Structure 1
Amino acid sequence: MTASTRLSPAEQIPFFTGAESIRRTWAALEARLREVASVGRFTFGTLGRELEERIAALTGAKHAIAVGNGTDALIILLRAAGVGPGDEVIVPAYTFFASASAVLHVGAEPVLVDVVPGSYAMDPAAARAAITERTKAIMPVHLFSQMADMRTLRDLADEHGLLLLEDSAEGIGMVMGGRHAGLWGGGGVLSFFPTKTLGALGDAGMILTDDDAVAERARRLRSHGQAVDGSYEYLELGYNSRLDEIQSAVLLTRLETLAADIERRAELAARYDEGLAPLAPVVRIPFMAKAAEPGNTVWYVYLIESDHRDQLVAYLAAHGVGTEVYYPRPLTEQPALAPLPGARHPVPVAEAASRRAVGLPLYPDLTNDQVDRVCELVHRFHKELS
């Protein structure tokens, strides 16, 4: 019997839970759910449109287009922006699979490049080296806690006449130079997966864009390619990706606490920083890239690196602490991407991170004592190694 199986549920620290947040906001959520039931429309109705308006106001986007999930948002954005067969899209090699699979779904080819150490964002120099005559777009990903270097990437895209699209699935609340994540080029996306900074109770997503043409086509594509006037005239093949009203109700409720949730995440991250800093350089704690600035940082995941990552994960699990390995292999090593044509670009930083990086619990329901407990266990693990 392991230590974790002997611990009571109250003593365990899950990688993520939102149970207490749901309890705190249940009265407001229940009122919105009753509204959904009384109206009797369950797929993209009044609350879905209200959510679009609220997200547009929050981010400053001219258009916010609600869809079924973050992956659909990426696929629809790529198509709406004109990416298709024969095109190449530059994507970081260290990210979730959907960043590359969305490119494949529209018939284009993801070109995988390395990331910047510590920030895990696309390396602009690697992106420049990957540009060919077939390159149509550069698509950085904003991972874990901060945006990619969007000023440099926008200049690079402009220099070569390329689309700049953003996988800003984790980026709600992140701002650089007064511009919200997802709005530095043709558009971006948000994911509202339950663990996200703004999370639903299921899948949900949003497309952000200031481009009227991209927005019009995205709205058409999310509803089978139907003309946006709802006339049952289908102009192209699209998708069934309309956000349901129940998830809209959840997200509207959680928007009320988003600012406080972001602040709480920052407090917890600072506590981790203080608790784990003495372990440097054996343990690498997150650091802000040079492109980071006030407002850019929104703590979604607290990612550390250790040469003994897998043993640390097992040790923490045995003591009741959940973790998540982001990501156990770079996209260059994914079997589904192996048949991609062309030479692969070297991705040593992504490869190293895939061996060393692990996410620790970080969410508003986490207590200070729980963070201190995780830090204590990380210290104890490395002390026992020596």
Structure 2
Amino acid sequence: MFLRTFGWSFAITIAGLLAAGLLWGAEGFGVVLILSVLEISLSFDNAVVNATVLKRMNPFWQKIFLTVGVLIAVFGMRLVFPLAVVALTAHLNPATVVELALDSGKTHDGHTYGQYLELANPAIAAFGGIFLLMIFLDFVLEEKEFNWLNWIERPLEKIGKLEALSSVIALVALALAANLFAGAHAETVLLAGLLGLATYLAVGGLSGVFESGLEEQEEAEEAAERSGKSLVQVGGKAAFFLFLYLEVLDASFSFDGVVGAFAISQDIFMITLGLGIGAMYIRSLTVFLVRKGTLDDYVYLEHGAHYAIGALALILLASIKYHIPEIVTGLIGVAFIGAALVSSMLRNRREQALEGATG
């Protein structure tokens, strides 16, 4: 199962690194390898959260996630999307942006493509930060089967019964970020943050509606089977919006990696290739976690991933004003995931010891 799940990732890695060596020599090979590792380290928590969503989708949509989803992630989110962001925020026509991207040394009004992308960081950080913050808040405020950090999660579950509390908290965080960090970009930050919130509510709401419809349809189908009738399932619609949700989630995770990649290289093709290889592994890891049932075996992994998401959301909002090294973001995510994994293993041992004592 391991080779079947990661086979394409291994193949793309070999092909990508060979292409980098042939096109750009040893330096290009090294840069692409570093960028791949950077993407994986920054997005491991993304894979865990993706798995919680992907396990609700049927095998067909899991394959779509690994095929079409990869194309969107690599070429859409890590190549086309940054170009679109630069065009919109810098008020440049697409042709000029493409020319700047193709020639890392070329400037327009004194700025290179990489510098324009850095100037767009307030909007990128606000959108991604609020979107990720909503994911974290909705997780910690809802009632869960298992609690990892009881002293935090139980009180939050109690106040989480208040209607739309997560949206209120996110709006307050956005207002504070615009006031404390944005400066002259306050209007841009507010608009981008509101778009991030609206995107989360729209995609999440639509997927929730169709999931509810699917559950009702499945119940009706069971009754129909008993009476000899058949009904058409509407699972495809629910899975489609869950797929959209995963793609927006991937985009939010990729923002810091795309911007941070320009500190390593100014070549957009090296960046796309390196981050694309990393994105392949994140998707393969997501499917592996689902098929292996890892989230069921290690019940606190989902908690650790969401705490890492909460930390990343705050880092993105703070990065509107302050530069925070990507290594810090990566280490925080790994620390939360590692702590959750260890806690899960200890819990499993306690459960096994208890079963042995009672047995």
Same-fold status (TM-score > 0.5): no
Normalised by the length of structure 1, the TM-score is 0.19
Which protein is richer in strand relative to its size? Answer: 1
Which protein is richer in helix relative to its size? Answer: 2
If asked which structure has higher relative contact order (CA below 8 Å, sep 6+), I would say 2
Normalised by the length of structure 2, the TM-score is 0.20
